[in-house]
Structure 1
């Protein structure tokens, strides 16, 4: 930490994280952790009227206990209005987390259980920024906080957010996983596919010739995609670049039946929407071609049901954007060198951008996320809290104006 870094109550900041990360809250079941955040905000003096939930959970595919938590702290002074965001949910391996501190790290003492620092560290950083403003008497500009639900299952909370409840702001910072100095200013776009391959059932011993195996059809399609460079790290001669994967392959009940149905789930990603569309089209055509080519003795072929859904579109902020400039200045203030990156994974900022909110994503010191060996590096987390607090106080206004 440098002399220019904002001062915070480090013990209170760590205590907030420990309390939040001990609360179960997988995607769609975030109500308990949201209520703890609300409780702490009100205990710090925030009026109930400043706190609201949107109805995003009513628009997500699986529903959920609660929508996105949105807080408005009225301004008491001049300066840029800042929006700070994080997501409430953790992955299932973190249910039952029992956080413990050892030296500069926090880990879960529950055998086989992840800590849940992704993203309770981000939640606690936002909460710390708000509590620091509420306990102080220095004037500050307006602050907006948003805790998203259901990030871990496809950015559903930010996708379904009611952006009208956020309001006008000058810069936006999203706190998620990773190191503090890494500034994610752009991210890849992703699309998921559901593919049902229908063959023709027959007795594999008595009349195999009457069947047309859905397993053979799907396997031929996947093999062709792999051989032609449409799976994995896609770098086609015509300039199409991206990522793709077949992640789920399910079918068959018995060895004496020619399999009539296979269910496949796949994904495609690219920083170029047209390239992603080309990858999806190649996958669809490969499955349809394979289904048509695999026939039974009577020439009967299979068929394919194909559905795709865009999870999130790609985005990229300019280096001169106020959010980027403010984030860089805040990172430098804690003695770190900011590093701009473009992510090959989706973040809430993807959907925020589609809603007209241009956000930079920074980490909070989470390590080995989504695993039982997850750790929180406390110095990184406390720097993230300092960054959130300094931005909330309206610092670095010249860089963001």
Structure 2
């Protein structure tokens, strides 16, 4: 188990990382700190690189790509990949962590903590630096710190996979209990819906207008009546959907000529995602036919969507899962395998041909001002990562 000094170092590292601002698209300062830590234990400059994934991600002027570190092994063994994502959600900007009752919590009531996923970054970084500082024998390793995970796994999606060096085993840290092994996750599709109506004076000639807001309201009601908003459970049609953003209109005395909605659907079945997206489009197109002005003009509806990540599920017999299970069991834990209802970088790693098992690192209440990090669980995650990095597990 970790010594007291190792625990202190890990705890200080994660607090330092949480205090660095770094929302999606602005991860450069986090990457710089990771680089600094690695250089301090002798990692050569040329072993630390970035890809150009950020140039293909949707956020303009993104500051950096995925950070990739290649560490040569000093003994034979399978090539292992350890990874976590660097970005946090906006509520975590300005986070100042403090220790309270065995937890790291935000000092300020209006911020999150950033444990998601600075705890994952700290876990991987602690394991790698400890391995090198203590000169622990290990096989070849690649470290991957991704960008823009929180906005649809964009860094992992546009990852330059060839820079990873074809790892045999892959491990991702992002989540809660370190004994939980996430071996699959839901898929998600995000869409932008633009409704173009016809403006007119709402008091003098409302009959000449075509209200985009009315069209949107009718479409939303259709989806609600069909049970297609929120949790969806209709036989084989199972998943979730949400319309999270509506923007439109300029003044109360003008019939709104444009409304934009942003929505998502999720499911563990790709076919269900396709059906739900089609149902959304049908609802809005039908609603457009039901709102006409006195000249029989109707609104025009435009859909733009993207399958951010496909659902995936790995066999419990996958070598990465077996190796992680062996390490957890060796530490006296009972590995619990699960399928996540949120997307993970592992969704895209799987599609890239690298099945990655996701392990927890003590996060609680992610994306909330009540976010916490369980310090004991975080220390356990660091021990698990150190053992995995050193080559423990059945795949050896």
Q: TM-score, normalised to structure 2's length?
A: 0.96
* Distance in structure 2 (CA, Å) of the matches to 1:289 and 1:95: 42
SS at match of 1:400: coil
Tell me what 1:92 maps to. Answer: 90
Q: CA deviation at 1:371?
A: 1.8
* Distance in structure 2 (CA, Å) of the matches to 1:301 and 1:96: 47
* Distance in structure 1 (CA, Å) of the matches to 2:248 and 2:90: 26
Q: CA deviation at 1:79?
A: 2.2
| Pair 1:400-2:389 in alignment | no
| Pair 1:253-2:250 in alignment | yes
The counterpart of 1:10, out of the listed 7, 10, 29, is 7
The counterpart of 1:165, out of the listed 163, 166, 175, is 163
The 1:233–1:102 alpha-carbon spacing in structure 2 relative to 1, beyond 3 Å, is: closer
Tell me what 1:230 maps to. Answer: 228
The 8 Å contact of residues 6 and 389 in structure 1, kept in 2 or not, is answered as no
Tell me what 1:191 maps to. Answer: 189
- What stretches of structure 1 move > 3 A for 4+ residues in a row? 5-8
Q: CA deviation at 1:11?
A: 1.7
* Distance in structure 1 (CA, Å) of the matches to 2:261 and 2:315: 38
Q: Which range moved further: 280-289 or 296-305?
A: 296-305
* Distance in structure 2 (CA, Å) of the matches to 1:140 and 1:6: 18
RMSD: 1.6
Tell me what 1:75 maps to. Answer: 73
Q: Which runs of 5+ in 2 are unaligned?
A: none
* Distance in structure 2 (CA, Å) of the matches to 1:6 and 1:165: 32
The 8 Å contact of residues 173 and 361 in structure 1, kept in 2 or not, is answered as yes
| Pair 1:105-2:103 in alignment | yes
Q: CA deviation at 1:80?
A: 2.2
SS at match of 1:319: coil
Q: CA deviation at 1:100?
A: 1.9
Q: Within 5 Å, which residues of 2 pair with 1:127-166?
A: 127-166=125-164
The counterpart of 1:264, out of the listed 261, 264, 287, is 261
* Distance in structure 2 (CA, Å) of the matches to 1:243 and 1:367: 22
* Distance in structure 1 (CA, Å) of the matches to 2:75 and 2:197: 68
Q: CA deviation at 1:126?
A: 0.6
The 8 Å contact of residues 170 and 400 in structure 1, kept in 2 or not, is answered as no
The 8 Å contact of residues 6 and 390 in structure 1, kept in 2 or not, is answered as no
Tell me what 2:345 maps to. Answer: 348
Tell me what 2:121 maps to. Answer: 123
* Distance in structure 2 (CA, Å) of the matches to 1:349 and 1:158: 8
**Count of residue pairs the alignment pairs up:** 394
| Pair 1:391-2:383 in alignment | no
* Distance in structure 2 (CA, Å) of the matches to 1:80 and 1:385: 20
Q: TM-score, normalised to structure 1's length?
A: 0.94
Q: Which runs of 5+ in 1 are unaligned?
A: none
Cα deviation digits, residues 205-240 of structure 1 (max 9, x gap): 222222222111111111111111222222335x32
| Pair 1:335-2:332 in alignment | yes
The 8 Å contact of residues 84 and 172 in structure 1, kept in 2 or not, is answered as yes
| Pair 1:363-2:353 in alignment | no
The 8 Å contact of residues 20 and 124 in structure 1, kept in 2 or not, is answered as yes
Q: CA deviation at 1:385?
A: 0.4
* Distance in structure 2 (CA, Å) of the matches to 1:80 and 1:254: 64
